[in-house]
């Protein structure tokens, strides 16, 4: 149901121009936020309602199909996996892990990007050259490859995945911040603030940062989907979260060898993940249409 | 033109040097002793010390970096701990399979993507257009390895029309290539659609229409040539994620390429191979982008690369 509402919202992307102006994309923003909120609730309260024990083994209830009943008579909505764990409970736990990683990595890369962007754009000079060449070099690296390399050295853990994904994600944020800093730097109101005796930090805080808010929101919504996908890929390769804290990626990878006998172990977490990323994608597009009319409809 | 060529070439070398340096920093400076990582936590201190000396890890970092740069310049990445033999040799041995897969993925994405983009742009806001835009959004939002597993499940396990793993016949490349190309397909579709819509009212197209030619002729070849310029640019940029994606996709389909070797080598802590593979992929990416930049002038005569300052 969430998938269809997200899809219905996408269709609004191509709505006729007359409906675009004013509060562009409100339906899409509200709809996708509702999906995200649903996931956030699942992540927050799901593991409390459906207790997940990573080491519990229940051999009698192995590989039950979705909507079947366990030997104790409980309904398992999404079925069970190869060691008899309820897939629904595992996915609730996975929602917590994946979304924590996604949000933490997003905040960290946003922060790195913001600091580097302001250093580059506001102070300029050699610092600008160094930071922007660093960004160029990093873009020459396929992002997932850099993440794989760092994750391989650091080893699998939740903290390491967050660090890895933040390192590969800061460039976009830095470029946008730098652009905004350059654009505001020579405006009259910035000069006026300076003439009134404001320190650099004050000018940056009151003049540059507010102009970054809208583009940051757009990039954040588009980027968090990529982060969640990248986390799943890393976990699939065994470089993400350890089996005791199963993310969606770990769960999908765990069902890989059972595709023909128990398709649901891989399929259902994948669908859950895709719906969330679609919601973030719709949200990002809608925010971009609202805040950046030049890019609308692209 | 020559000046631009030299500047662009120097820039590519600089970027490659940076990529090589990042690999060095990640493998040597990041917390954790490479010798300890290779030998595992149970190794005796004497063994670790011996390996550290063998790897030159007891020398100052700058000296290590110097040796490392020389080794990279000579394409010497040490031997593979697991397979024996030169690490770069092992990667190069499997590179043709990866190239075949990546090429098939790009061909699939570009042909189908242009087709879908043209179909979507031919009737903007129609049902077909909306279906295509939902389709591209969904495939951009699915994890590629998951899409691969689903394709495997449907076509190899249920319908049994395509082989599931390995590289025994030409049919083996179909599923991995489609999986690997999906993200790029979405991108090409979107760009083709917006490119066509953007130029659909250009006067030269109205001339074609005024001559009484059908809308099909307006699109092929007249409109499509200009609409495709952004597509060519992203082919270069997107190749990075295609190459990075091979690590995951080759693992899903047991495709005997360089990507799968990198993934396997990580599991066996065979870092020489990982390093060789990552640097080679970065090099391929840099070279392809250089070529795309240089070819740009040929595709779009309005762009004069000689005078353009990047």
Residues B287 and B154 in one domain: yes
Residues B173 and B30 in one domain: no
Task: Tell me if B267 is assigned to some domain.
Answer: yes
Tally of structural domains, chain B: 2
Burial B137-163 (b: 16+ CB within 10 A, else e): bbbbbbbbbbbbbbbbbebbeeeeebb
Residues B51 and B93 in one domain: no
Residues B180 and B44 in one domain: no
The CATH number of residue B243's host domain is 1.10.3720.10
Residues B67 and B158 in one domain: no
Does pLDDT of A13 surpass 50? no
Q: HEC states along A171-226?
A: HHHHHHHHHHHHHHHCCHHHHHHHHCCCCHHHHHHHHHHHHHHHHHHHHHHHHHHH
Nearest Cα of chain B lies from the Cα of A218 at a distance, in angstroms, of: 16
Domain end position, chosen among B18, B39, B73: B73
Residues B46 and B179 in one domain: no
pLDDT, tens digit, 9 for 90 and up, residues B291-306: 887 777 676 666 655 5
Task: Tell me if B83 is assigned to some domain.
Answer: no
> How far is it, in rounded angstroms, from Cα A253 to Cα B178?
20
Burial (CB count <10 Å: 0-12, 13-18, 19+), residue A37: exposed
Question: Residue A148 and residue B30: Cβ atoms within 8 Å?
Answer: no
Task: Tell me if B36 is assigned to some domain.
Answer: yes
Q: Domains along chain A?
A: 92-298 (1.10.3720.10)
**Residue B178 and residue B151 in contact, taking contact as beta carbons nearer than 8 Å:** yes
The interface residues of chain B toward chain A in range 26-45, judged by CB-CB distance below 8 A, are: 26-27, 30-32, 37
**Residue B77 and residue B272 in contact, taking contact as beta carbons nearer than 8 Å:** yes
Residues B49 and B112 in one domain: no
Residues B173 and B250 in one domain: yes
Mean pLDDT of A293-298: 48
Indicate the average pLDDT of chain B.
Answer: 84
Mean pLDDT of B192-215: 85
Structure tokens at B20: 């090589």
Query: ipTM more than 0.90?
Result: no
pLDDT, tens digit, 9 for 90 and up, residues B20-73: 888 888 877 665 666 776 677 777 888 888 877 877 777 888 888 888 889 888
Q: Considering only the beta carbons, identify the residue of A15, A153, A278 that sits closest to B27.
A: A153
**Which residues does chain B have within 8 Å of residue A11's beta carbon, measured at their own beta carbons?**
130, 133-134
Cis peptide, bond prior to residue B221, ω within 30 of zero: yes
Query: B129: pLDDT confidence band, cut at 50, 70 and 90?
Result: very high
Residues B203 and B121 in one domain: yes
pLDDT of residue A11: 42
Residues B120 and B230 in one domain: yes
**Which residues does chain B have within 8 Å of residue A14's beta carbon, measured at their own beta carbons?**
124-125, 129-130, 133
**Residue B307 and residue B298 in contact, taking contact as beta carbons nearer than 8 Å:** no
> How far is it, in rounded angstroms, from Cα B125 to Cα A295?
17
B260 has a chain A CB within 8 A of its CB: no
Domain end position, chosen among B73, B105, B133: B73
The interface residues of chain B toward chain A in range 155-184, judged by CB-CB distance below 8 A, are: 157
Task: Tell me if B233 is assigned to some domain.
Answer: yes
Task: Tell me if B219 is assigned to some domain.
Answer: yes
Mean pLDDT of A167-183: 88
Give the structural domain span for B49.
Answer: 2-73
Task: Tell me if B285 is assigned to some domain.
Answer: yes
Closest of B148, B251, B287, B5 to residue A234, by C-alpha: B251
Residues B92 and B143 in one domain: yes
Domain end position, chosen among B26, B42, B73: B73
Closest of B186, B181, B177 to residue B239, by C-alpha: B181
pLDDT of residue B34: 65
B250 has a chain A CB within 8 A of its CB: no
Structure tokens at B276: 């060789």
Task: Tell me if B28 is assigned to some domain.
Answer: yes
**Residue A101 and residue A231 in contact, taking contact as beta carbons nearer than 8 Å:** yes
Residues B195 and B272 in one domain: yes
First CA to last CA across chain B, in angstroms? 13
> Taking the model in full, what pTM does it have?
0.82
Task: Tell me if B249 is assigned to some domain.
Answer: yes
Residue B163 phi/psi, 5-degree rounding, is -70, 155
B129 has a chain A CB within 8 A of its CB: yes
């Amino acid at each position: 149901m969430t998938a269809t509402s997200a899809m219905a919202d996408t269709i609004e992307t191509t709505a006729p121009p007359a409906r675009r102006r004013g509060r562009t994309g409100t339906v899409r923003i509200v709809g996708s936020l509702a999906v995200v909120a649903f996931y956030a609730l699942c992540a927050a309260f799901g593991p409390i309602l459906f207790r997940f024990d990573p080491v519990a083994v229940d051999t009698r209830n192995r590989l039950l199909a979705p909507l079947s009943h366990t030997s104790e008579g409980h309904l398992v909505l999404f079925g069970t996996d190869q060691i008899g764990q309820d897939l629904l409970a595992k996915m609730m736990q996975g929602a917590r892990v994946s979304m924590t990683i996604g949000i933490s990595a997003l905040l960290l890369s946003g922060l790195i990007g913001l600091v580097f962007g302001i250093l580059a754009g506001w102070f300029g000079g050699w610092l600008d050259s160094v930071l922007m060449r660093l960004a160029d070099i990093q873009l020459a690296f396929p992002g997932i490859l850099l993440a794989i390399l760092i994750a391989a050295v650091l080893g699998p853990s939740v903290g390491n995945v967050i660090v890895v994904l933040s390192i590969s994600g800061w460039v976009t944020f830095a470029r946008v911040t730098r652009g905004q800093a350059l654009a505001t730097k020579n405006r009259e109101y910035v000069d006026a603030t300076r003439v009134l005796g404001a320190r650099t930090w004050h000018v940056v805080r009151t003049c540059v940062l507010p102009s970054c808010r809208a583009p940051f929101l757009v990039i954040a919504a588009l980027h968090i989907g990529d982060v969640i996908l990248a986390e799943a890929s890393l976990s699939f390769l065994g470089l993400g979260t350890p089996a005791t804290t199963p993310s969606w990626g770990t769960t999908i990878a765990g069902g890989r060898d059972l595709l023909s006998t128990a398709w649901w172990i891989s399929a259902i977490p994948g669908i859950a993940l895709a719906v969330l990323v679609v919601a973030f994608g719709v949200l990002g597009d809608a925010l971009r249409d609202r805040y950046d009319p030049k890019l609308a409809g692209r | 033109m020559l000046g631009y060529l030299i500047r662009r070439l120097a820039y590519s070398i600089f970027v490659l040097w940076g990529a090589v340096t990042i690999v060095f920093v990640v493998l040597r400076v990041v917390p954790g002793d490479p010798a300890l990582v290779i030998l595992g936590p149970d190794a005796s201190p004497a063994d670790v010390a011996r390996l550290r000396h063998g790897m030159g890890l007891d020398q100052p970092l700058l000296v290590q970096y110097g040796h490392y740069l020389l080794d990279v310049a000579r394409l010497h990445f040490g031997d593979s701990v697991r397979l024996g033999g030169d690490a770069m040799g092992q990667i190069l041995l499997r590179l043709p399979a990866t190239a075949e897969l990546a090429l098939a993925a790009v061909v699939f994405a570009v042909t189908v993507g242009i087709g879908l983009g043209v179909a979507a742009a031919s009737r903007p806001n129609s049902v077909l257009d909306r279906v295509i835009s939902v389709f591209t959004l969904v495939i951009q939002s699915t994890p590629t390895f998951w899409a691969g597993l689903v394709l495997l499940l449907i076509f190899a396990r249920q319908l049994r029309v395509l082989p599931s793993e390995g590289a025994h016949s030409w049919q083996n490349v179909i599923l991995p290539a489609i999986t690997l190309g999906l993200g790029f397909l979405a991108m090409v579709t979107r760009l083709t659609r917006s490119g066509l819509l953007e130029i659909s009212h250009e006067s030269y197209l109205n001339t074609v229409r005024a001559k009484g030619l059908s809308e099909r002729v307006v699109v092929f070849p007249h409109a499509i040539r200009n609409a495709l310029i952004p597509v060519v640019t992203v082919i270069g940029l997107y190749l990075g994620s295609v190459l990075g994606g091979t690590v995951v996709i080759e693992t899903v389909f047991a495709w005997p390429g360089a990507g799968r070797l990198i993934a396997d080598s990580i599991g066996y802590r065979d870092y020489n191979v990982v390093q060789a593979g990552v640097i080679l992929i970065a090099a391929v990416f840099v070279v392809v982008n250089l070529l795309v930049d240089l070819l740009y002038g040929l595709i779009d005569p309005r762009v004069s690369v000689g005078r353009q300052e990047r």
